[in-house]
């Protein structure tokens, strides 16, 4: 029997932190003690866990004394400052920020894809970018069975990926536009960037800041993280990331090329129908395909619209949808923690 663990959630009052707490409860994770941490500003708030009130405390290095597993989702700078402090005190950190994802000493893990990489951890495990997780989870069974030689993705991403304030901005803007009132964009596409644009009834082809090659950091995260998680540094991957007026649920139009010839759409559907963490929703005849509005609150990755390319026998198109706050963040983090227990990696 697993012993009960002391679990800490850093960023406990944020959109992802709230989902982490909810997911720990839903999964009956063996929590002996729950420490909820946040900035000084949010400290003192009370959160219900398994029917008991837990008071959120300000995160400091000493907060991690006695903690077994710490789930971080409070921004990269908090992770940079406090994750090493948690590790120093004996905790294993599962970090949902981009702070350590490309660090060679840090495994970047989606359990359906590379659970074994957890064995090599040095205290910190990185949780990938939301849009990357759902894509690699769906591509892994295809890669294992048919080989994978190319990935090209265009995303349709929800505002909750930019935090609770972005959700409010979308709703307030939509209301203002419907009532023909004035409004001033203040957050999206990127809180810390120079300009802000209307998101309601619009589509913004920018997520995170631009880097010198013309790709955004979000696009480069999808490209680099996919290669790292799949251990395929040479895999050609390209991404265009777009923010939409959707509250929760990222969608992706994905084109792949596989190595094997002669694979049919039925083969791909059969494979994905039995794959862990994947739900096949693909019945065009009855208009069955994944949509963000249907995925909210579910832990699975939904795949549909699977078609063979009309010009390349080994090219396939598909549409991948998942709750970006769950499989894209909170659930994948808790799932990593479950894997750590399963692999006896928690001391």
Residue positions forming the annotated binding site for phosphate: 101
Instruction: Output 177 or 346, the one with its CB closest to a copy of itself.
Output: 177
Instruction: Output 165 or 343, the one with its CB closest to a copy of itself.
Output: 165
Q: Cβ 309 to a copy of itself, closest distance in Å?
A: 6
Closest CA to 345 of 107, 181, 154, 162: 107
Inter-residue contact 56 to 46 (CB < 8 Å): yes
Instruction: Output 174 or 341, the one with its CB closest to a copy of itself.
Output: 174
Q: Cβ 154 to a copy of itself, closest distance in Å?
A: 4
Q: Cβ 194 to a copy of itself, closest distance in Å?
A: 6
What does 224-266 look like in DSSP terms, one character per residue? HHHHHHTT-TT--EEEE--B-S-SS-EEEEEEEEESSSS--HH
Closest CA to 315 of 245, 236, 253, 259: 259
In eight-state DSSP terms, residue 27 is: T
In eight-state DSSP terms, residue 13 is: T
Closest CA to 75 of 27, 38, 113: 38
Binding residues, as ranges, are 13-16, 41-42, 101, 157, 160-161, 243, 324
Binding residues for substrate, as ranges, are 157, 243
Residues engaged in binding a copy of itself (CB under 8 A):
152, 154, 156, 170-171, 174-175, 178, 189, 193-195, 197-198, 201-206, 210, 213-215, 223, 236-238, 240, 242, 244-247, 251, 253, 255, 265, 284-287, 289-293, 304-312, 315, 317, 319
Q: Cβ 306 to a copy of itself, closest distance in Å?
A: 7
How many other C-beta atoms are found inside a 10 Å radius of the C-beta of residue 289?
A: 18
Active site residues: 130, 250
Q: Cβ 222 to a copy of itself, closest distance in Å?
A: 12
Inter-residue contact 242 to 253 (CB < 8 Å): no
Instruction: Output 23 or 157, the one with its CB closest to a copy of itself.
Output: 157
Residue 115, helix vs strand vs coil: helix
| Segment holding 211, helix H or strand E | none
Instruction: Output 214 or 262, the one with its CB closest to a copy of itself.
Output: 214
Binding residues for NADP(+), as ranges, are 13-16, 41-42, 160-161, 324
């Amino acid at each position: 029997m697993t012993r009960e663990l002391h679990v800490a959630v850093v960023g406990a009052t944020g959109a992802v932190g709230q989902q982490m707490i909810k997911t720990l409860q839903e999964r009956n994770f063996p929590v002996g003690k729950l420490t909820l941490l946040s900035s000084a500003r949010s400290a003192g708030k009370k959160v219900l866990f398994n029917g008991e009130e837990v008071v959120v405390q300000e995160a400091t290095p000493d907060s991690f004394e006695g903690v077994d597993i710490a789930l971080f989702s409070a921004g990269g700078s908090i992770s940079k400052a406090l994750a090493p402090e948690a590790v120093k005190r004996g905790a294993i950190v599962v970090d949902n920020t981009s702070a350590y994802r490309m660090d060679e000493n840090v495994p970047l893990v989606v359990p359906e894809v590379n659970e074994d990489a957890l064995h090599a951890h040095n205290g910190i495990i990185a949780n990938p970018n939301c849009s990357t997780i759902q894509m690699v989870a769906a591509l892994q069974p295809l890669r294992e069975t048919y080989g994978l030689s190319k990935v090209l993705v265009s995303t349709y991403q929800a505002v909750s990926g930019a935090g609770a304030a972005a959700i409010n901005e979308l709703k307030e803007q939509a209301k203002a536009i419907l009532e023909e009132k004035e409004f001033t964009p203040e957050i999206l596409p990127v809180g810390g960037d120079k300009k802000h644009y209307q998101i309601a009834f619009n589509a913004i082809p920018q997520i995170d800041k631009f880097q010198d090659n013309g790709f955004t950091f979000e696009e480069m995260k999808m490209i680099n993280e996919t290669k790292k998680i799949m251990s395929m540094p040479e895999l050609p991957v390209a991404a265009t990331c777009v923010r939409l007026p959707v509250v929760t649920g990222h969608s992706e139009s994905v084109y792949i090329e596989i190595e094997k010839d002669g694979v049919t759409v039925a083969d791909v559907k059969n494979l994905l129908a039995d794959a862990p963490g994947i739900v096949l929703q693909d019945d065009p005849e009855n208009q069955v395909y994944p949509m963000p509005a249907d995925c909210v609150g579910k832990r699975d990755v939904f795949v549909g619209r699977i078609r063979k390319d009309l010009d390349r026998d080994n090219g396939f198109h598909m549409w991948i949808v998942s709750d970006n706050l769950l499989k894209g963040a909170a659930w994948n983090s808790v799932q990593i923690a479950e894997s750590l227990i399963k692999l006896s990696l928690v001391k």
